[in-house]
Amino acid sequence: MTTLGKSLAAKPACRGISFRHFPPKGKPKPDGPAEYWLAFSGLPARAGTRNPSGARTMPEGRMPSALTTVGGAPLSRVGLGTAAFGMGGTGDDLADATFRHAIDLGINWIDTDAIFGFGGAERLVGRTLAELPAGDRPFIATAVGFDWDGRSRRATPQPAMEPRRLRQQLERSLGRLGVEAVDLVKLNLDAGSDALFEDAWSTLLDLKQGGLVRAVGLIAPDSARLERAERIGACDAVYVELSLIDRRVGDSELLWRRTPTPTVIAYRALGGGGLVAPDDPAGEPALGPLRHLIQTIAGRRHATPPAVAAAWSLTWPGVAGVAVGARCPEHVAAVAPAPEIDLSVRDLSDIANLLPTLGAGRGPLHPRRFAKAA
């Protein structure tokens, strides 16, 4: 076992899903998942330097397909989602190991949110950030738009779009993260009064102007709201839910605006994990054939099911990156190579032909056919 394989083996164990690995023909299978992906995915063991804005950049020579930008900062096309960090399924040490392993694999942005574990995810992210050398700190994205009563153990997040409350939310997030400014703040539009939208967006732009935020974005907007936002000020990023079982965004105009900004990021690309856990007894039985097909395609591509599912989302026109949640280093290693997977016409057609038979989700079935129609 190599040093890297031993390093991963020494990390806290990941409970839950394990993935089959398919080494390229003629090459032996390396000892561990991290070693596998570093050997065959083309990802670097360490991402390189930092750009003037403070975000990590890829080393020279990285393939252009592995990069996107948000607010001018070069980012890997896969980011680490941290919802699991605050939900009780990932302890402090495991969260730290997952974060660090993502950086080892060339992932240079972390996606979090104040509501993940009522601030717990941000605290865990902040803990690791504080221990990292300045040159190794990744781009950090968080979100505002929800708030809760911290005095109650039974508190539930509530919409909070008023300017004063948005500022308070950001200040608390900065405190938990241990930073003076955050790279990207998104406004969560799953909640809140539409009447407050313009005021809320103006507040985020003011925070950017004041230096507390370097870029601003929207979560799950429709085209009309994005246009309303852009009439006030530029939007740097848009987050859209896009997976094999939720393709509704394909029916909107967001993916074919053909403008350089905002950068479009897909989230829940693994369908909440249900797409990539074929042996999960809690999984949706109706998705069994789809999980099996993803595993079959993973075999063709010498990849893992999570990487295939994420690659499918990245195949859509206009989608620049995916934020994928992980509970442990092994899960990060399984999805990190997604940008390097080139799904074939056969792969995409097999998926498109199967989805209608399962009644799985709504929206266009084939990203490339969608691109031609657009």
Strand 237-241 relative to strand 216-219: parallel, antiparallel, unpaired? Answer: parallel
Phi-psi region of 71 (alpha: psi -120 to 50; beta: other; left: phi over 0): left
pTM above 0.75, yes or no: yes
Give 210: exposed, middle or buried? Use CB within 10 Å, 0-12, 13-18, 19+.
exposed
- Between CA 299 and CA 283 the distance in angstroms is 21
pLDDT value at position 106?
93
- Between CA 240 and CA 248 the distance in angstroms is 10
- Between CA 104 and CA 271 the distance in angstroms is 25
Q: What is the pLDDT of residues 13-26, one digit of tens each?
A: 565 444 444 443 44
pLDDT value at position 239?
95
pLDDT value at position 249?
87
pLDDT value at position 170?
97
pLDDT value at position 123?
94
pLDDT value at position 36?
30
Q: How far apart are the first and last CA of the chain?
A: 49
Beta carbons of 332 and 101 less than 8 angstroms apart = yes
CB atoms within 10 A of CB 299: 14
pLDDT value at position 59?
35
pLDDT value at position 174?
97
pLDDT value at position 212?
97
pLDDT value at position 43?
33
Q: DSSP character for 30?
A: P
Tokens of 125: 């992210």
CATH 3.20.20.100 fits 22-373, yes or no: yes
pLDDT value at position 231?
96
Q: What is the pLDDT of residues 135-158, one digit of tens each?
A: 889 999 999 998 887 666 666 778
pLDDT value at position 24?
39
Q: What are the residue ranges in the chain where pLDDT is below 50?
A: 1-9, 16-65, 372-374
Q: Report CA dihedral (163, 165, 171, 173) to the nearest 10 degrees.
A: -120
Task: Map out the domains of the chain as residue ranges.
Answer: 22-373
